[in-house]
Amino acid sequence: IAEPFRIAAGAVGIAAAFTACVYCFGYVQYGRHFGRDYQTELISLDCARLYLTRWGQAVNIHEDPRMGRPDATPSEVQTVKNDLHQILVLFADIEKISRMYRLESCFDPIDADTADYVPPI
């Protein structure tokens, strides 16, 4: 998430911030043992991503730097930039939190011979 966040935070433009926001959906990590809540959150996340990408297509975000609206005021453009930036900030926060709860494996059985494995103390 750091690289897309840096791109958008550097005020590259609305299209870059939009793309980074959509890309960040892939970074959200949920716990593996949340059962029904986990599945519900995944569905909500998929729907939000679909909504955001469809909105981007509807306003021609990648073809027109003014979001497909030649009459967009500087205030409207700034509002969209601020909103997309805030979404990126929230995704960065989520990534930090999910890293705290993600299980890290100190042993990869694919890369090592199990006979040589010594568990950490």
- Reference 84, options 31, 10, 34; nearest CA is 10
Along the 121 residues of the chain, how does pLDDT read in single tens digits?
445 444 444 445 777 777 777 777 666 655 555 556 666 777 777 788 888 888 878 877 777 665 556 677 888 878 878 888 888 888 788 777 766 665 554 444 445 444 454 444 5
What contacts 70, CB < 8 A, 6 or more positions away? Answer: 64
Distance CA 24, CA 89 (A): 10
pTM for this entry: 0.42
- Domains in the chain, start-ordered, CATH in brackets? 2-116 (1.20.120.1020)
